[in-house]
Amino acid sequence: MNIDELCQTATAMVQKGKGILAADESTGTIKKRFDSIGAESTPDSRRDWREMLFRSGPAMSQSISGVILFDETLRQSAVDGTPLVELIRNTGAIPGIKVDMGAQDMANFAGEKITAGLDGLRHRMKEYYDLGARFAKWRAVIEIDAERPSMACVAANCHALARYAAICQEASIVPIVEPEVLMDGGHDLDRCYEVTEGTLKHLYMELFTQGVMLEGTVLKPNMIISGKKCNTRAGVEEVAEATVKCLKSSVPASVPGVAFLSGGQSDLEATAHLSAMNAGGALPWNLTFSYGRALQAAPLAAWCGKSENHDATQAAFNHRAKMNGLATLGKWNEGMEG
């Protein structure tokens, strides 16, 4: 474990004005997104799509601190032969890798999930470091309704996150720990707060038990937000206030930063909520973004799988990255979206 390298990398990932691009969609997930715009999903088309984003100069150099990659992408090279990892590094951003093997049904607990991927992870970490990855991501899925999650689900997922984090740090790779309380369903903001706070407190107990150095980690949580089917959706200020309150009650100040997932929010919602949090005054940690769809939906719609839309695609990505970069400073407003 290189403690100095871990701390420097984690701090750089959550620096003010920048955030993380989540470009780690599995082959199945990215095929669904390509299907929605009538584009074929092949190794070359996936490479071309991501290369367009990584070559978007203003976004990558000014607003993106790191990029989470899928295993396939970490090993790919651009059309001109330059490894995609090198393209990312040349912009000043840090390459990362998704290492979990996805959420699977949890035995004895119908409707709940446990994330797989711990077997063989130590060997894969060494290979990923050699390939250029300096941080990793592991996502736990927490279903929420009146009865769920069970304590067993929270405990199992937090334990797995902590074991993954310890293996990452052993290989001098910064772990992003992602316990996502889903925003599906009809739960209200208070129920989301209750489940998220309990999950985060259990997570940090497990991280402490596993000897994880918090200064060399990044937290990627959901925001405290009403479920998609809730009849009374909370407003921007209410979401921002509840999220900051929840973090203050459960996340140690030694964590350098929190990079929120967008979790099904619209582009503007994700940006507005983040900006409102950062406009509220000094906090123990930097609050930034680790968005996938909320950064890629607009450029994907501009691209439509056609090479002639290259410039429009990059312009859309540059814009969304800039807006979210401003949100990390609390300086975004809707008038900038014109």
Q: Return the active site residues.
A: 178, 220
The backbone torsions φ and ψ at residue 288, rounded to the nearest 5 degrees and listed phi first, read: -135, -160
Residues facing residue 39 across a β-bridge: none
CA distance 31 to 285: 36
The backbone torsions φ and ψ at residue 141, rounded to the nearest 5 degrees and listed phi first, read: -110, 120
Q: What is the DSSP letter of 256?
A: -
DSSP 37-48: TT----HHHHHH
Contact between 86 and 57 under an 8 Å Cβ cutoff? The reply is no
Torsion of CA 272, 277, 282, 284, to 10 degrees: -130
The burial of 230, by beta-carbon neighbours within 10 Å (0-12 exposed, 13-18 middle, 19 or more buried), is given as middle
Q: Residue 289 is which amino acid? A: F
Closest CA to 330 of 284, 280, 265, 289: 280
Q: What is the DSSP letter of 276?
A: H
DSSP 168-214: HHHTT-EEEEEEEE---SS--HHHHHHHHHHHHHHHHHHHHHTT--G
CA distance 111 to 143: 8
CA distance 333 to 315: 19
Q: What is the DSSP letter of 279?
A: T
